[in-house]
Amino acid sequence: MLLLALNVLSISTLFVLLFTNSSEPELELDEPISMDRYAEISLESDLEAVERIINQFLEKESNNQPLQYQVIVNDKVRVVGKIVAFGKDINMTMDLIPIVTEEGNVQLKVDDLTLGSFSLPVSFVLNYVNSQYAIPNEVVIDKEEESIYVLLTELEVGSGYKIKANDINLEEERVEVTLLIPQ
């Protein structure tokens, strides 16, 4: 589940960077999920498994086209790849610090962003991504906070299941999520 959450985060971030053309969505974080409608299963994973699952998921979602990026999870979540800008492939590295919100979603705070040899403000790049790439409804870019929100609680994972993030501790190499099963 952690892997799914990180996959969703990574995919959303990458799709935003690679494939989207939409207007800037408003940041609307839902209220916490009403727990009386769900049974809970807590899951924990290590970072290596999460990274492997994210990249496998991204490869599967790429429809057998060569991936232009990969996700590395260690002391930060790092997205490394290429984006098309100005008609050229430009190397991109984005370091993200994951923060679990009170609602069980994930805020990915941009810690560092490198786009080729360009020195551009993070807010400018996030605004560019938001305006040039289609972003899934479960991903919200907030250029003022220099963050990407992954609304895990909005995702349905087969048969009405939902996911809520509990803890992402990269130092301790641990990710904890709750699988919510409708009753």
Residues 70-108 have pLDDT tens digits of 889 999 999 898 877 778 888 989 999 999 999 999 999
Tell me the sheet residues that pair with 109. 97, 147
Q: What is the pLDDT of residue 101?
A: 96
Q: What is the pLDDT of residue 173?
A: 93
In contact, 70 and 5? CB cutoff 8 Å: no
Q: To which H or E segment does residue 47 belong?
A: helix 47-61
